[in-house]
Amino acid sequence: MNQLPTEKRAQVIRSLVEGNSIRSTVRMTGVAKNTIVKLLCDIGKACSRFQAVNLVGLDSMVVQADEIWSFVGCKEKRVTPDKKAVGMGDAWTWVAIDADSKLVITWHVGLRTEDDCKDFIDDLASRLNKRIQLSTDGFGTYKTAVKLAFGKDVDYGVIVKLFGTDPYAEGAHRYSPAVCTSCKTKAVIGDPLESQISTSYVERQNLTMRMGMRRFTRLTNAFSKKIENHEYQIALHFMYVNYCRPHQSLRLQDEKGKQGINRSPAMAAKLTDHIWSIEEMIESVISN
């Protein structure tokens, strides 16, 4: 870990997890660009290692999974063999979230392929204690991966959404979001509750990723230039979301029915008993 004092490191990390780019963090904190990148690499590695070790043996019951697109260096259609060899092009982040605690259980950065899907689902299965209800979208590779990882010990359903253009929108449609025209659910393995077949929470987490990581912001030049730094930022983001960021929907009520303390996903999942500060997060992942 670099020699910045903890207070300054916390200031840099707080800027990064709140959706600022490297250069804007330089301007806000006065820390050199190379120092910030080095800190991101160090803390990102530590966050990835910490969560790989500690997010295990979970008692989740309802889990949602999805994948979100981004790119490194350039988009896939412009990538050359040399750039592809160093990890440039499309970068899909596969994410699984506990629908009750909102804990991000695991993630995987790779391509949208059968092998990446299998690695992701295998890792998810290894972190759970109980039979779960799992929901994904209709992407075809999930079915085989879930069967191989869970066998029959899962209640698995998919939700299929069809999208089209808004007939009432005026002007160009290039940057307008598609409109959901239909939504169907289907049981695939076991006996999932139809009311619980949903990807709403994980899709909302995808929005949090785009808002909380400048590298995911569309139509900017803040995209990642190296796949390693992309992965480090994702690990830091999920560490912050799981342990440091209070979730409004997880707020407890006191005995009088009034709104009580806020909780983080890690608190709701009983992995900790308080919301961590950025400083505490730094010390915990470094000492792990």
The highest-level CATH class for domain 6-246 is alpha beta
Confidence category of residue 31, pLDDT binned at 50, 70, 90: very high
Pairing of strands 89-98, 104-110: antiparallel
Taking alpha carbons only, the member of 130, 161, 124 closest to residue 146 is 124
SS (H, E, C) 133-187: EEEEECCCHHHHHHHHHHCCCCEEEEEEEEEECCCCCCCCCCCCCCEEEEEEEEE
As a whole number of angstroms, the distance between CA 90 and CA 73 comes to 9
On the question of pLDDT at 95 being above 90, the answer is: yes
Q: What is the pLDDT of residues 46-89, one digit of tens each?
A: 999 999 999 999 999 999 999 999 999 999 999 999 999 999 99
User: What is the helix (H) or strand (E) element at residue 70, kind and residue range?
Assistant: strand 62-72
Q: What is the pLDDT of residue 263?
A: 94
Q: What is the pLDDT of residue 172?
A: 56
| pTM recorded for the entire structure | 0.92
As a whole number of angstroms, the distance between CA 151 and CA 141 comes to 15
What average pLDDT does the structure give for the chain? 92
Q: What is the pLDDT of residue 256?
A: 59
As a whole number of angstroms, the distance between CA 112 and CA 76 comes to 12
- The average pLDDT across 219-243 equals 96
Q: What is the pLDDT of residue 252?
A: 78
Taking alpha carbons only, the member of 210, 197, 241, 204 closest to residue 103 is 241
Contact 231, 72 (CB under 8 A): no
Confidence category of residue 259, pLDDT binned at 50, 70, 90: low
Q: What is the pLDDT of residue 183?
A: 86
As a whole number of angstroms, the distance between CA 179 and CA 164 comes to 5
Confidence category of residue 175, pLDDT binned at 50, 70, 90: low
Of the CA atoms within 13 Å of residue 175, those in its CB half-sphere come to 3
Q: What is the pLDDT of residue 128?
A: 97
Written as six digits, the tokens of 233 are 């930022």
Structural domain boundaries in the chain? 6-246
Query: Scanning the structure block, which residue is given the tokens 């190296």?
Result: 226
On the question of pLDDT at 1 being above 60, the answer is: no
Q: Radius of gyration (Cα) for the chain, nearest Å?
A: 20
Query: Scanning the structure block, which residue is given the tokens 């598609």?
Result: 178
As a whole number of angstroms, the distance between CA 241 and CA 188 comes to 31
Rounded to 5 degrees, φ, ψ at 280 are: -65, -40
Confidence category of residue 248, pLDDT binned at 50, 70, 90: confident
As a whole number of angstroms, the distance between CA 96 and CA 44 comes to 19
Q: What is the pLDDT of residue 233?
A: 97
The residue with greater pLDDT, 138 or 163, is 138
